[in-house]
Amino acid sequence: MAKKKQRQARAEKRTHMFRGKTLEELKTLNVRESAKFMKSRSRRSVLRTFGTIEKFIKRCDKKLAKNKKLKTHQRDIVIVPQLVGLTIGVHNGRNFQEVPITVEMIGHRLGEFSQTRAKATHTSMGIGATKSSKAKKK
């Protein structure tokens, strides 16, 4: 039990870092300034579409003030530090999947965490699927 408590204490001391900056430092930056710490593909996307990302953040703030769930169809929004800690329902074509945003997700898109294709589940073979199942039993 003592080792478990020590591990928990170490985990609490650790602060989440992203490219040498703490989460609190990143949250103080605006969307364009936080783009400087992302990889090139997501940085270019954020700098081109920073207006829509800022609108999305404002909409999230309004919904949270009214204690409503956050839902979106915008799967191409790049995750910025201001969204960390939120749980957003991302539409996958059929329903909204709840996606909790963490520090490791910064720079990725919302759609990456809401899978659109389900794993195929096959049932057992039906009548006529094989030669032996075509023969009628007496």
| 58-77 pLDDT tens trace | 999 999 999 999 999 999 99
pTM: 0.75
Q: Closest Cα to residue 87, out of 76, 106, 71, 103?
A: 71
Is the pLDDT at 133 greater than 60, yes or no? yes
Q: What's residue 130's pLDDT? A: 77
Q: What's residue 122's pLDDT? A: 83
Residue 62 belongs to some domain of the structure: yes
- Average pLDDT for residues 105-109, to the nearest whole number? 93
Boundaries of domain holding 34: 15-114
Residue 123 belongs to some domain of the structure: no
Residue 32 belongs to some domain of the structure: yes
Residues with Cβ within 8 Å of 46's Cβ and at least 6 positions away in sequence, in order, are: 31, 32, 34, 35, 38, 53, 78, 80
Domain CATH number, residue 58: 3.30.860.10
Residue 7 belongs to some domain of the structure: no
Residue 121 belongs to some domain of the structure: no
Residue 127 belongs to some domain of the structure: no
| Residue predicted with more confidence, 121 or 41 | 41
Q: What's residue 26's pLDDT? A: 83
Checking 51-57 for CB contacts under 8 A at 24+ apart, the result is: 52/77, 53/77, 53/78, 53/80, 54/30, 57/31, 57/82, 57/83
Counting the structural domains of the chain, the total is 1
Q: Give the DSSP letter of residue 44.
A: H
Residue 40 belongs to some domain of the structure: yes
- Secondary structure (3-state) at 34: helix
Beta strands in the chain (DSSP E): 17-18, 21-22, 70-72, 87-91, 96-100
Residue 25 belongs to some domain of the structure: yes
